[in-house]
Amino acid sequence: MLKITVDENIANAEEVFSRLGKVELFPGREITNEILKDSVVLIVRSITNVDKKLLERTKVKFVGTATIGSDHIDAEYLKKKNIAFADAKGCNAEAVKEYIFTALAEVLIQKNLKFKDLSLGIIGVGNIGSKVVECADALGMKTILNDPPLKRKTGYEIYRELNEVLQADIVTLHVPLNKNGIDKTFHLFDYKKLNQLKDNSVLLNSSRGSVIDNEALEKIIDKKNLTVILDVWENEPEVNSSLLQKVFIGTPHIAGYSYEGKINGTIMIYSALCKFLNIKENYSIELPKVDNPVIEINKFESTEKTLRDIFGKIYEIKKDDKDMRIFLNEESNLRRFNEKRYFDLLRKNYPLRREFSNYTVVVPKEEKELLNILSAFRFTIA
């Protein structure tokens, strides 16, 4: 029987992949070469480095990652060994977009700012970045886009130079981690680039931790009076605790952790594996309905406060931030606990989070601008 080794934290993994073979589940950081000796299929998340060391002298012929990023995969080695590969690009794009604007709504309320008065620099305009653009446009924001590969491909002047994007009021990163080459993104934001950001601006990173030099950011965050939202950290699962103390919102790499995003990732890899095995797909899933799916707007104060109130009923981002900071408390027992393990446990035990498309918002018909905004976020309007 086909032996399939799967990261135990992949949603519905055993239920889905057991249709194709014998499934063995392991924590992602504990998958070893010895475990894979007789495996033909390996399915991972971003915490498992898939390379020669892991795969040498195994029977693995198919590798799937239920993630949008693939910097943990040695693609050249897989190609050399004729090992098939599939990723799940785009699976959680909606979830990350929702994370970005939920965080921004918190920032703008605190700073007493309005979306329509601000410019948004978007670095990386792929599956996620393009969705961020759509919502920013609906909010009346000025968007400044940077995506060198897309500019080379299309020639469109809409894609601006990085230096121009750095002058936006808000800058958000949605790029893969490339350690080399013309589109290198490792430490794309080094001290020099961080120093080019506008004073008092907002910086968000939900892509990969090493896209920003975390030590440089720690040094410059106070100098530039930056408001920083970080979901990803250099050297995960280690976290720069000094930097965590300085950011406005810090979370444990969960921006894309919606239930829909996780299921999408699983199904995308299942489909790719069926194709590889030349087997007809025979699995589908009906997601459970959400509790309390109707949100009523009784009083409209401002776009920012209204959105924060709506988003907050679905996703409490400040709770994720609070949970992340627990181990900063010197009196906490977690100081005697392995902080790396705590980071992984936050992700493993992350509560069910549903996407905005599951909810209906009751809005006064005269609020046409708000209706358009909520539609951009995929809410049903009543």
Three-class secondary structure assignment of 155-180: CCCCECCHHHHCCCCEEEECCCCCCC
Identify whether 237 is preceded by a cis peptide bond (ω within 30 of 0).
yes
Cβ 291 vs Cβ 354: under 8 Å: no
- What strand order describes the sheet that includes 202-205? 142-146, 119-123, 170-173, 202-205, 227-230, 249-250
Residue 143's pLDDT is 98
Query: Is the Cα dihedral 142, 98, 371, 298 positive or negative?
Result: negative
CA 19 to chain CA centroid, nearest Å: 29
* Cα 3 from Cα 59, distance rounded (Å): 10
Q: What is the pTM of this model?
A: 0.93
Task: Give every CB contact of residue 95 below 8 A, 6+ residues apart in sequence.
Answer: 255, 256, 257, 258, 260, 261, 353, 355
Residue given tokens 């993994």 in the structure block:
13
Of the candidates 171, 173, 151, the residue with the CA atom closest to the CA atom of residue 161: 151
Predicted confidence at residue 360, as pLDDT, reads 98
Superfamily of 93-250 according to CATH? NAD(P)-binding Rossmann-like Domain (3.40.50.720)
Q: How far apart are the first and last CA of the chain?
A: 52
> Minimal CA–CA distance to 120: which of 160, 166, 157, 158?
166
Strands (E), 148-279: 170-173, 202-205, 227-230, 249-250
Amino acid letter, residue 76:
E
Gap between the Cα atoms of 138 and 12, Å rounded: 35
Name the nearest CA neighbour of 271 among 63, 86, 126, 134: 86
From CA 208, how far away is CA 175, in angstroms rounded? 8
Question: Which amino acids are annotated catalytic?
Answer: 208, 236, 253
**Token pair for residue 361?**
């918002």
**What kind of fold does domain 294-338+346-381 have according to CATH?**
Ribosomal Protein S8; Chain: A, domain 1 (3.30.1370)
CB 308, CB 109: distance < 8 Å: yes
Question: CA-CA distance, 284 to 286, in Å (whole number)?
Answer: 7
Residue whose token pair is 């018909």? 365
Q: What is the pLDDT of residues 101-150, one digit of tens each?
A: 999 999 999 999 999 999 999 999 999 999 999 999 999 999 999 999 99
Report the DSSP beta bridge partners of residue 192.
Answer: none
CB-CB contact of 215 with 240 (8 Å): yes
Same fold for the pair 3-87+258-277 and 93-250: yes
Quick one: pLDDT at residue 368? 86
The residue among 229, 269, 276, 232 whose CA lies nearest residue 248 is: 229
Provide the token pair at 349. Answer: 């035990």
Give domain limits for the chain. 3-87+258-277, 93-250, 294-338+346-381
pLDDT of residue 341: 84
What's the pLDDT score for residue 209? 97
In tens digits, the chain (382 residues) has pLDDT values of 999 999 999 999 999 999 999 999 999 999 999 999 999 999 999 999 999 999 999 999 999 999 998 999 999 999 999 999 999 999 999 999 999 999 999 999 999 999 999 999 999 999 999 999 999 999 999 999 999 999 999 999 999 999 999 999 999 999 999 999 999 999 999 999 999 999 999 999 999 999 999 999 999 999 999 999 999 999 999 999 999 999 999 999 999 999 999 999 999 999 999 999 999 999 888 899 999 999 998 878 899 999 999 999 999 999 999 999 987 765 555 554 577 788 999 999 999 899 999 999 999 888 889 999 999 999 999 9
Residue partners of 362: CB distance under 8 A and separation at least 6? 294, 295, 296, 297, 382
At the second CATH level, the architecture of 3-87+258-277 is: 3-Layer(aba) Sandwich (3.40)
- Nearest-10 crossing angle of helices 93-111, 259-277: 160
